[in-house]
């Protein structure tokens, strides 16, 4: 066994994840130990780069299955398609989060006695549901 190999505990500590997470990633086929030292798994130091990709992908919203596909493709049309789809999804989430931030900021600074009766807040509600306004626009 090479002295350059990393013990599972060392890999977990460096990655900032519990050993059990490494086992989950291993079962998902995302990482592979190269041997054992007694009962402890041993990894090639290159696993840290792969783990960084896994962590980044998960932070970006990829599921473990999607991370596996991403790592499998590595590059090319299927990889670009997967990344483009995730980018579209992230942009949608970004827009939703920006709307939420704007609403909360407004509500925190709103001077209406009952903030949920604020005209700005009520106009925002009209754009939340896909079916359109939640209030009748008839004032007759």
- At 65, list the tokens: 């299955």
Residue 140 lies in a domain: no
CATH of the domain at 43: 1.10.1660.10
The range of the structural domain enclosing residue 94 comes to 79-131
Q: Is the confidence at residue 79, as pLDDT, over 70?
A: yes
**Which residues on neighbouring strands pair with residue 37, listed in sequence order?**
40
| Angle at which helices 8-15 and 19-27 cross, to 10° | 100
For 120-140, how does the pLDDT look when each residue is reduced to its tens digit (9 = 90+)? 888 888 878 888 787 765 544
Top-ranked range on mean pLDDT: pick from 22-26, 69-73, 120-124: 22-26
pLDDT at 140: 41
Q: 29-63 b/e with 16+ CB inside 10 Å = b?
A: ebbebeeeeeeebbbbeebbebbeebbebeeeebe
Give the rounded percent of residues in the chain with a pLDDT score beyond 90: 53
Residues 33 and 46 in one domain: yes
Phi, psi (5° rounding) for residue 44?
-70, 145
User: Are both 15 and 50 inside the same structural domain?
Assistant: yes
Do residues 30 and 66 both lie within one domain? yes
pLDDT given at position 97:
93
Q: Is the same domain home to 14 and 57?
A: yes
Under 8 Å between Cβ of 67 and 30: yes
């Amino acid at each position: 066994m090479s002295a350059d190999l990393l013990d599972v505990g060392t890999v977990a500590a460096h990655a900032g994840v519990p050993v059990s997470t490494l086992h989950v990633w291993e079962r998902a086929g995302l990482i592979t130990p190269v041997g054992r030292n007694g009962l402890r798994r041993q990894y090639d130091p290159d696993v840290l780069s792969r783990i960084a990709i896994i962590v980044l992908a998960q932070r970006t919203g990829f599921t473990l299955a999607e991370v596996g596909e991403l790592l499998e493709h590595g590059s090319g049309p299927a990889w670009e398609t997967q990344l483009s789809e995730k980018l579209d999804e992230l942009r949608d989430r970004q827009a939703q989060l920006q709307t939420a931030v704007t609403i909360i900021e407004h509500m925190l600074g709103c001077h209406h006695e009952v903030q949920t009766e604020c005209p700005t807040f009520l106009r925002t509600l009209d754009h939340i549901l896909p079916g359109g306004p939640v209030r009748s626009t008839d004032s007759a």
